[in-house]
Amino acid sequence: MNASPSHRPHPAEWTETQSLLPSAERDLPAGRHQFHKEQMMARIHEDLRTSSRTSATSAVAPVKRPNPFLRRAILLPAAAFALAGVVVGGLALTGGETDGGKTALATGPALTTTIGVADAKGAPQLLERISLAAADTSAPAPRKGQYIYIASKVADSYIKTVGDKSEAVSDELHSRQVWNSLDGRDGWLIEAGATSDKGITLKSDTPFSGAYDALAELPTDPDALLQRIYRASDAVRDPEVPRDQAAFVAIGDLLTESYPPAEVGAALYKAAAKIPGVVAVDDAVDATGRHGVAIARESDGERTEWIFDKKTLQFLGERVVVVKATAGDPLKVGTVTHTSAITERAVVDAAQQVPGQAS
């Protein structure tokens, strides 16, 4: 320690402070240390993956998607787990991830698209129709012990830095298969580039917020539901993400890789219609090339689009498109930063079982 340059005594020596020392401190509430650490690590890995900003980062090998199940952390580190109000704690996110055992994934030039025309006035009406379609109860309800199976085709764009050269690239479109138990505590994931061909377990002490049981207990009154979504997402939201955007993305997360009961699905769309800034988009194309209409919301120059079949209004997929050039963002307008197309949603009897397979 340096000698204090002052002639005065240090505050610790004042008579006025003697009753205040030694200091009394508290630990963070149970689990919160790990929670915040994981959030920080998610941000760090994400920045390293997408950023070409500083020479400091280029000295480090870009870390590609450290945890495949936390993809949504790209858009919104916190709200990805919004409804449960908890993070997927059991999944290792903390540093030191290896690429061992992952299948290789080629990259190519960044995916681009034409940007559909947004219409704010049309959004409530379109969502009303989508909600009606979602209220169809002909899909079978899962039984205890079964798993929800979601197959999709996905790709992400990011800035790849090699040495001191950076360019926008996209993964090749690849398949992703997720199984989740109804209580959200068990699951399995197979995704090229993220796991081996065999896949990895999604077993966790902290249930997945989009699990069937969690969705089934949500309120079906749109106002109550929206309020709950705001409350949950506020509790964990990344402060840089605007409140309404966080809520919109949180709803999207519950609709994408999930199997909501019909009345809950319908209510989620009605709740989304009440979020300021939500627009209808006349044309959007999903990862497999299917065209449709979209419900979208723009934040920070990027538009998150939920794509629906024009006629049946079934959910086709989701994508994020750069719609405005922002300072410091090297991705060009029209770049698709994330795209996914749901190809199958089903109830199966066990993890790793695909529909149609005998149990």
Partner 1 sequence: MRTRVRNGDPAAFAELFDECARAVYNHAFRLTADWSLAEDVMSTTFMEAWRRRASVDAEGGSLRPWLLGIATNVARSHHRSNRRYRNAASAAAAAHAAEERVEDHAEETAGRLDDRRRIAATLAALSLLKRPEREVLTLCLWEGMEYTDAARALGIPVGTVRSRLSRARARLRKLTDAQLLEEKREPTRTNRQITGDRGYAVRSAQEGNR
Binding residues (CB under 8 A) for partner 1: these are 1-2, 4-6, 8, 10-12, 14-17, 19-21, 23-29, 32-33, 36-37, 39-41, 43-45, 47-48, 54, 56-57, 59-60, 63, 94-96, 239
Say how far apart CA 133 and CA 359 lie, in whole Å.
31
For residues 166 and 288, which CB has a smaller minimum distance to partner 1 in the complex?
166
Q: How far is the CB of 30 from partner 1 (least distance, A)?
A: 12
In the complex, what is the shortest distance from the CB of residue 78 to partner 1, in angstroms, rounded to a whole number? Answer: 9
Q: Give phi and psi for 249, each to the nearest 5.
A: -65, -35
Least distance (Å) from partner 1 to the CB of residue 217? 25
Please report which residue ranges of 218-353 form alpha helices under DSSP H: 222-236, 243-256, 262-273
Name the DSSP class of 238.
Answer: -
- Nearer CB in complex with partner 1: 23/138: 23
315/292 Cα distance (integer angstroms): 9
Contacts of 174 (CB under 8 A, 6+ apart): 105, 153, 154, 155, 191, 192, 193
Please say which residue, 18 or 138, places its beta carbon nearer to partner 1. Answer: 18
- Cα–Cα distance, 204 to 311 (Å, whole number): 39
**Shortest distance, CB of residue 92 to partner 1, whole angstroms?**
11
Q: Among residues 42 and 111, whose Cβ is nearest to partner 1?
A: 42
Report the nearest approach of partner 1 to the CB of residue 143 (Å).
40
Smallest distance, partner 1 to C-beta of residue 39, A: 7
Instruction: Please identify, using beta-carbon distances, which residue of 66 and 116 lies nearer to partner 1.
Output: 66
**Per DSSP, what are the bridge partners of residue 180?**
148, 187
DSSP state of 27: P
CB 149 within 8 A of CB 177: yes
Nearer to partner 1, 32 or 198 (CB): 32
Nearer to partner 1, 32 or 310 (CB): 32
**DSSP for 170-199?**
EEPPEEEEEEEETTSS-EEEEETTTS-SS-
CB of 238 to partner 1, least distance (A): 8
Taking the least distance from each CB to partner 1, the nearer of 43 and 290 is 43
CA–CA distance, 148 with 178 (Å, rounded to integer): 8
| Beta pairing class for 118-119 and 147-162 | unpaired
Strands 147-162 and 174-181 come out as antiparallel
CA distance 83 to 212: 12
Residue 174's beta-bridge partner residues? Answer: 154
Q: How far is the CB of 314 from partner 1 (least distance, A)?
A: 38
